[in-house]
Amino acid sequence: MKTIILLSTIISITKSIPKISWEQDVDRMWITYHNAINNKQHLVACSEEESINLHGLGLEKIPKDLVKSKTIQSISLHENSIRKVSIDAFEEVPLLKCLNLAHNYISFDNLEIKHDNLKTLIIDFQVAPEMNDVIPASNAKIRCPNIDTLSWRGITHEFPLLWIDMFPKLKHIYLSDSHYIQYINETAIYLLNLRSLYLERNSIDKFIMNNLGNIEILYLDENPLEEFWINPIYQRLRILSLSNCSLFDLPELNIRSLESLDLSHNQIRVVSIDAFQYTVLLENLNLDNNVLTTIPPVDHLNNLKTLSLNYNFIRNITDIVTSSSLKTLNLRGNEIDNIDVMEFWNLKMLEYLDISRNKLKSLPPKWHKGMKRLKYLNLQYNNFISIEYMSIFHMSYLKELYIKNNSITYIDLNTLSSVPNNCTIYMLFVQWRILLPVFFSSQVVLAIFAGTKEHMTAYKLCTKVCIPGTILNFNNTGLTRIGDVFANTSDIRELYLDDNKIAYISDKAFDLMEGLEVLSISGNIISLEELSWLRYHATLRSLIINNNKWRSKYGDKDDISIPNTFGYFPALEVLSLRGDNISQFDVPLDKFTPRLKKLDLSENYIQSFKFLDNLPETMEMLLLEKNGCPCQVRKLPANIRVLFLNENRITELCGARCTHSHSLSLKELKWLNILNVSSNSINSIESDAFKDTIHVQMIDLSHNYIGSVAEHVFRGLSSLKELRMSHNLLQIVPNMGSLNSLRYLDLANNYIEEVTNLNYLKSIETLEWLDLSNNRIKVLPTMLIYHTKSFEWNLLLKNNSIVNIDDLFTDKCLEIQLILHLQNNPFSFFKFNTLMVHTKEPVLPSVESNTILTESLEEFATDSEEN
C-alpha cells in the first residue's frame, strides 16, 4: 500500500511515495519477525481451565479431602511448605491430569502419590534434606503409570536416571538447574515413548550416548561440555541445542536426522568444510555470539532455511552460502564493511535479511539481483548517508526497510519516489524534526504515521480496502497552522491532526481534498467562533473536533458560541464537538447536514437545546451528557436509537403530556434502544412517558429525585433488559410485572423499607441481578429467596436493617440457585436446628456491669458505716 503526500503549498502528486513509520521499538519488532531458531520451552505449567490454584498459602500437608471434584483437571500447590504427599491425597480428583508441587519440602521417599490419570507432574526445586545414600528405584512409592511429562528441575541430591523407569509412558523430561546431574546413562533405551530431554544448566561435562532411543529433542544449554558424541546409527534426533556450553570447536555432528541446531554463545572460531557433511536435513542453524571471522561453509545444506550469525567478527561477505532454500539470513552485529556484488545472487528464496549494526557505507548496484522474494531488509545502525547508497530501488518485493540510526540527514522527493511502492520505511522518531524542513521546503510532506499513536479507525479498519494514499496521520507532531491547499489530491480518505497546537486553519485548506471522508482535529487551540474553513465538502462523512483548548475572541471568556452558519456537508454522518466549552449552539443541522446520524456535544456548557428542533430525520445517536442544561426537549427524530442526556437539569420525563419547563418528551421514539438520563433533577415520570419506546433495552434513571412511579409506567416495555434506579427517593419497589425480559434491576440507595409486594417479580424468569442494597429493609424477602429459577441469580441486600436470617436455614434453602449478598446487616446470630451460630463477637454488657459495681460499692459503704 502506498501512502499519501501532504502538501505545504500547491503541487500535483504524480509520483508514488512509500510509507514512512516512526515505530518506537523497531529492534523488538525485527526480532519478533525473524527468530533464528525454534522457540524453546523452558518450563512446564498446568492449564488454567478446570483448575484449582493453591500456591503460596503456607500449606504444610495435603489432607485426603483437600479437593473433591469430578471435573477438576489441574491442581497447583507450588510455593507452600508441604513435606509429604500421601498415597491417597488426590484419589477424590479422578480426572486430575496436571499436578504442580514445585518449591516445597518434599523428599523423594515422602512422595507416595498414586493416580492413574495423571499426565503431568511438576516437582521442581524441592528444599529437601541431603541424602547420604541413593534411593534405588525399587523403593520408589510413586504409582502414576500414565504420566507423559515430568518436570524435576533443581534436584539437590545425586539422581540416577533409572528412577524414571517408574514412568513407562514418559514423553518429556525436564531435569535442568542441578549441579548433581553430572552424567547421563542410557535409560532412554528403555523409555520407548521418550521424545524430549531438557538438561540445561547442570554439571554435565561428558555426553556420550551410544543409543539415544527415540528422543527427538535434546537441550544441553549451559553445561561445561568437554566431550559430546551420539551414535549416528540409533537416533532420531531433530532438535539439538548446545548453546553456551564453552565450546571452542564444533563437536562431531554425524546426526543425519537433525533439523535444528543451536550453537550460539560459545567460543567457536572456525567451522571446517566437512563439519555439516552428514546433517543433510538441517533447516535451522544458529551460530550467534561466537568468534567467527568468515561465513561457515554450508553450501551443501540444501534444506537450510535459517542461518543466524549475529554478533560474530565477520568483516567481508565473500564466498557466502549459495543455498537456494535459505529464507532468513541474520548477520547483525558483525564488522561488515563490504559486500561483493555477486554474493547474494543465488539466494533466490531469501525473504528476511538482517545486516544491521555493521559498518556498511554503501551496497553495490544490483547486489540484490536474484533475490526476487526479499520482503524485509534491516540496515539499522550502519554508516549510510543516503537511501540511494543502499541500492534498493529495484527490489519490487520489498515490504519493510529498517534504516534507524544511520547517518542520513537528507531525503529528497526523487529518492523516495524510487523506493518500491509497497515498502514501508522504518526510521527513528527523532529524525522527524531533521527531515521536516526538507519535506516542507521541497513543497511536499510525506503522508506519514508520525504520531506516537495510531488512530484505530485510521489504519486497522482499512487493511482490506485501502487504495493508494488513504490515510494521513499527523497526530502529536507539533503543527501550529494549516495553510492554503493542505493537499492537492483526491486520494486521501482520512486525515488526523489531533493533539497538536493548531490555532489557524486557512479557508482553502481542504478544498482540493475531494475524496476526504474523515477529518479529526481534536486537542488543538482552534477558534470555533470563526468556521469559514468548515465550508462545503461533498464526501466528508466524519468530522471530529473534540477537546479544543481555544479561548473566545472576547478576552479570556470561556463561553463559545457556534454560529448558525455552517458549511454544507451532504454526506456527513458523524459530528463530534465534545469538551469544547460551547455555551450556545445555533446550527440548523437538518439544513447543513441532512444525513447526520451521530451528534456528540457532550461535556460542554450548552444552556439551550433549542437546536434539537432542527435535527435531520436520519439521526440515530444523540450524546448531550454533562452539559448541566436546565433545558426542555419536546421533539426528537423518531429514528433515534441512543439518547444520552445524563448530568443535565431535566426535571420531568413525559410523553404527550409534559407539564414542567425542563422536561424530556419521549413521544414517538419507538426505535429508542438506550436511554441515559442519570444525574439529572427528575422528580416526575408521567404515566405515558414510555408509551412509545417499545424497543428500549436499557434505561438509566439513577441519581435523581424520583419518589414514586405510576403503577403502569413501564407497561409495554417487553424488550427492556436493564433498569437502573439507584440513588433516588423510592420508598416502595415500582410495579415491574410486565418487564418479562428484564435481567438487571438496580434499586440500591433508596429509602425502601418493605419488599413484601414483590410477588410479581417471580414472573420475570430472566432476572439475573436484583440490587436492593443500602435501603431500609428489615425483613428478609423470603418470597424472592425461595423462588425457584432454572439458573443461578444474584440478590443484593447489603447495608440494610435485617436482624433475622433464620428463615434461610430450612430444607427449602437447599433447592434454590441464588447468590445472596447480606454484608453489613445488623444480624449477629442465626439458629440452625438446635444450634445457635454467632456471626459477630458478642458485646459485653458494660452498662449493666457498671451498675452492679456501683451498687456493690454503695452496699460496702453502708456496711462500713453500720460497723
Q: What is the mean pLDDT of the chain?
A: 80
* Residue 798, pLDDT score: 93
Last residue of a domain, one of 444, 464, 492: 444
CA distance readout (Å), 65 to 62, 88, 478: 8, 9, 66
Q: Could you read off the pLDDT of 130-153 as tens digits, one per residue?
A: 554 455 545 567 888 999 999 999
Rg of the chain on CA atoms, in Å: 38
Query: Tens digit of pLDDT for each residue in 47-58?
Result: 888 888 888 878
Is 597 within 8 Å of 574 (Cβ atoms)?
A: yes
Amino acid (one-letter) located at 45: A
680 in a domain, yes or no?
A: no
* 421 touches 444 (CB < 8 A): no
d(Cα 629, Cα 674) in Å, to the nearest integer? 20
Confidence (pLDDT) at 619? 95
Predicted confidence at residue 691, as pLDDT, reads 94
Residue 310 has pLDDT above 50, yes or no: yes
Check pLDDT > 60 for residue 679: yes
Between CA 813 and CA 815 the distance in angstroms is 5
Domain-located, residue 371: yes
pLDDT, tens only, 729-772 = 999 998 888 898 999 999 999 999 988 777 777 778 888 999 99
426 domain residue, yes or no = yes
Quickly state the pLDDT bin for 3 (edges 50, 70, 90).
Answer: very low
Contacts of 432 (CB under 8 A, 6+ apart): 22, 448, 450, 477
Judge whether 674 and 698 are in contact, CB under 8 Å: yes
Per the domain annotation, does 755 fall within a domain? yes
Indicate if the pLDDT at residue 252 is higher than 90: no
Closest C-alpha to 799, from 749, 731, 838: 749
- Residues 6 or more apart in contact with residue 417 via CB below 8 angstroms: 15, 16, 17
Q: Measured between alpha carbons, how far is residue 235 from residues 129, 211, 239, 251, 601 in Å? A: 38, 7, 12, 17, 73
What backbone phi and psi angles, to 5 degrees, belong to 139?
A: -90, -5
The three-state secondary structure class of 14 is coil
Q: Answer yes or no: is pLDDT of 440 > 50.
A: no
**Domain limit, last residue, from 417, 444, 471:** 444
- The DSSP bridge partners found for residue 218 are 197, 240
Query: Which residues, at least 6 apart from 690, have a Cβ–Cβ distance to it below 8 Å?
Result: 655, 666, 696, 699, 713, 714, 716, 717
Cell of 333: 552485529
Contact 619, 601 (CB under 8 A): no
Is 418 inside any structural domain?
yes
Q: Shortest CA distance to 675 belongs to which of 700, 640, 705?
A: 700
| More confidently predicted of 187 and 567 | 567
Would you state the pLDDT for residue 11?
27
Task: Please state, for a pLDDT cut of 70, what percent of the chain lies above it.
Answer: 77
Q: Which residue has the higher pLDDT, 289 or 63?
A: 289
More confident: 455 or 224:
224
Q: Is 411 among the domain residues?
A: yes
Q: Give the pLDDT band (50/70/90) at residue 458.
A: very low
Range list of β-strands (E), 348-502: 352-354, 376-378, 400-402, 424-426, 444-446, 471-473, 481-482, 494-496
What does the pLDDT read at residue 191?
78
Rounded to whole angstroms, the Cα distance separating 497 from 522 reads 7
In a domain, 308, yes or no: yes
Of residues 612 and 37, the one with the higher pLDDT is 612
- What is the number of domains present in the chain? 2
Q: Mean pLDDT: which of 335-349, 384-398, 630-644 is highest?
A: 630-644
Output the pLDDT for position 428. 63
Long-range (24+ apart) CB contacts under 8 A made by 708-711 are 708/732, 708/734, 709/685, 709/734, 709/735, 710/685, 710/686, 711/735
CATH number, domain at 715?
A: 3.80.10.10
Q: What is the pLDDT of residue 442?
A: 33
| Average of per-residue pLDDT across 208-226 | 90
Residues 6+ apart with CB under 8 A from 245: 220, 221, 222, 223, 224, 225, 266
Residue 26 confidence (pLDDT)? 54
- Nearest-10 Cα torsion for 277, 283, 289, 294: 50
CA proximity to 519, closest of 567, 584, 565: 567
Tell me what pLDDT residue 555 has. Answer: 44
HEC profile for 770-807?
A: EECCCCCCCCCCHHHHCCCCCCCEEEECCCCCCCCCHH
Give the pLDDT of residue 853: 43
Q: Domain residues for 793? A: 706-840
Phi, psi (degrees; rounded to nearest 5) at 164 = -70, -5
Task: Show the 3-state SS of 610-666.
Answer: HHHHHCCCCCCEEECCCCCCCCCECCCCCCCCEEECCCCCCCEEECCCCCCCCEEEC
The domain boundary, picked from 394, 419, 444, lies at 444
**800 belongs to a structural domain:** yes
**How, if at all, do strands 835-838 and 829-832 pair?**
antiparallel
Who wins on pLDDT, 724 or 131? Answer: 724
- Does the pLDDT value for residue 436 go beyond 50? no
What's the whole-number mean pLDDT along residues 323-328? 86
Say yes or no to pLDDT of 466 above 50: no
Give the angle subtended at the CA of 77 by the CAs of 73 and 80, to the nearest 5°: 175
Comparing 368-372, 617-621, 723-727, 834-838, the range with the smallest average pLDDT is: 834-838
Q: Mean pLDDT over residues 444-448, rounded? A: 34
Task: For residue range 547-591, list pLDDT tens digits in order.
Answer: 987 754 444 445 566 666 567 899 999 999 999 888 888 888 999
CA–CA distance, 745 with 772 (Å, rounded to integer): 9
Q: Residue 695: its pLDDT value, please?
A: 94
SS3 414: helix
Is the pLDDT at 463 greater than 50? The verdict is no
What per-residue confidence (pLDDT) applies to 807? 78
Q: Decide if pLDDT at 697 tops 60.
A: yes
What is the identity of the amino acid at 474? F
